[in-house]
Amino acid sequence: MEVEMNGSWLQKRSQHSPYKIAVIDGETGERWNYKQLFDRSREMAGRLLSAGIGPGDRVALLSPNHIVYFELLFACVDIGAIFVPLNWRLAENEWNYIVRDCKAKCVIVHDDYLEEAKQLKCQVFSLDELATKEIQKKVSHSTRINDAAAIIYTGGTTGHPKGVILTNENITCNAINTIVSWGLHGEDTTLTCLPMFHTGGLNALSTPLLMAGGTVVLMRSFDAEKAIKLLDLYKCTIALMVPTMYSMLIEHPHFQGTDFPTMKTFLSGGAPCPLEIYEIFYQKGKLFKEGYGLTEAGPNNFYIDPFEAYGKKGSVGKAMLFNEVKLMVNDSLEAMEEEVGEIYIRGSHVFSEYWGKEEETKKAKHDGWLRTGDLGRRDEDGYFYIVGRTKEMIISGGENIYPLEVEQILCQHEAVKEACVIGVPHPVWGEAVIAIVSSKRQTSERELLTFCKTRIGVYKIPKKIVFVPEVPKTAVGKMDKKNLQNSFSKLYDYNNKNKEEHV
């Protein structure tokens, strides 16, 4: 049965806490309370109607982190349109692919990107142009819980990005599950420094905290010094960053100059976190933990008590209250304790479908479960650990090797800044393990290989270590393993004379 929504939860929150500060722009210091935020979303809805936007139309946004994300998301829900945030790190041809793929009716563009937006093959409105539109009175429209609210495009590390359709139910249920499972409340304040075109920036903490009546501080783009300042200035209590951001934060001189007095929990997501980062926050007397998610599910799926996280380094915890998780081997058997299996997730936060890709949707969903393509294991206490991607697992000489394990060992060496481990074709072993490493100080391949030999099995040790100034990243800040594999795919060709091996 289709359930109609009698007003958005933002409307109700604005009635419950009208004068509580909802959003702060960390760049300008501007503040908006819940009544103002809701009023701005209603005005945006009226202007969209004047621009010819109606139910089912896709409305794209090209903007740094800004209050317009919230205005557009809730405006689209109000009139039945679908919000499509664009990754501002992409190239113009990639923006146009997404605009064509979702058949966007228009793209709304922040001032920062007006010049680049001239190449967009779609109707474009600047924020100033949109502000001149008449605020048209809303026509009668019934919003249903299963209506599409947003299409968020995945990073596209395996080809063209796919549009993940998130319904009103998906976004609402993720927020409720996060509030209850993580214990969020109206006194919490977060710094949103992850890009809001990404589900981590939009839905991991931002929308749940708005639902809970907390405060969201927006940071337009990440800068370690600025992040440290904003965390203290606005008395933040919880924050989510990716491991690369934490590395930059820790390396900044100002990190040692504060103890982040109001911060309760630092969260890491987006990629597995080097274990040394736990240690640094532990020494500072601050709670630090990891989470796991993906655009297609939530993104929040696990909870671990921050007080337990240090003793369970690398664990994402257990399933949250209103979703289920299991590990499957060969799609048919549930994994045993400590056995590696593919992570399956079920819950009302799991995405509806991929935009225009029915076959891809069928591959991703199996008997009501989402097949994540990620590998995990569960320890004797029921805590889950992420092992890596199914497609990234390396089979060398018949042995299964999980890149994350090797990456974590390499990152324990004091000279290593980041490590990316991949498998490349090898004429004898099938695949060979190689590591791409950026370093903090001078080191050598021999030093790192010797370090590995005392810590992991001989078959897991990289055959070769390649040093680079920075490990290449995708547009969403993850290590770009696909391009690295392409770059090194011919390293061990029969005609390649470079066949030096260390193990």
Q: What is the pLDDT of residues 7-65, one digit of tens each?
A: 789 999 999 999 999 999 999 999 999 999 999 999 999 999 999 999 999 999 999 99
Residue 65 CA to residue 83 CA, distance in Å, equals 15
Which part of the chain is CATH 3.30.300.30? 393-487
Identify the H or E element spanning 151: strand 148-153
501 pLDDT higher than 60: no
Q: Is 113 helix (H, G, I), strand (E, B) or coil?
A: helix
- Other C-beta atoms closer than 10 Å to the C-beta of 178 total 29
User: What is the pLDDT of the chain when averaged over all its residues?
Assistant: 92
**46 is written with which tokens?**
């009226």
CATH code that applies to domain 393-487: 3.30.300.30
For residue 354, which of 407, 282, 294, 414 has the smallest C-alpha distance? 294
Right CATH number for 9-384 from 3.20.20.70, 1.10.620.20, 3.40.50.12780, 3.40.50.720? 3.40.50.12780
pLDDT in tens, 416-428: 999 999 999 988 8
For residue 310, which of 334, 293, 290, 338 has the smallest C-alpha distance? 290
pLDDT band at 330 (very low <50, low <70, confident <90, very high): confident
Q: DSSP assignment of 54-69, as one string?
A: -TT-EEEEE-SS-THH
Residue 274 CA to residue 53 CA, distance in Å, equals 46
Which part of the chain is CATH 3.40.50.12780? 9-384
156 pLDDT higher than 80: no
Helices (runs of H) and strands (runs of E) counted in the chain: 16, 27
Query: Which pLDDT score is estimated for 502?
Result: 44
Residue 112 CA to residue 115 CA, distance in Å, equals 8
- Other C-beta atoms closer than 10 Å to the C-beta of 322 total 15
pLDDT band at 159 (very low <50, low <70, confident <90, very high): low
Query: Which pLDDT score is estimated for 500?
Result: 45
219 pLDDT higher than 90: yes
**256 is written with which tokens?**
């040692």
* DSSP structure class, residue 203: I
Starting at the earlier edge strand, list the strands of the sheet with 416-426: 416-426, 430-439, 464-467
Residue 373 CA to residue 461 CA, distance in Å, equals 24
The most confident of 88-92, 103-107, 481-485, by mean pLDDT: 103-107
pLDDT band at 157 (very low <50, low <70, confident <90, very high): very low
Amino acid at 465: I
For residue 265, which of 242, 286, 244, 245 has the smallest C-alpha distance? 286
pLDDT band at 291 (very low <50, low <70, confident <90, very high): very high
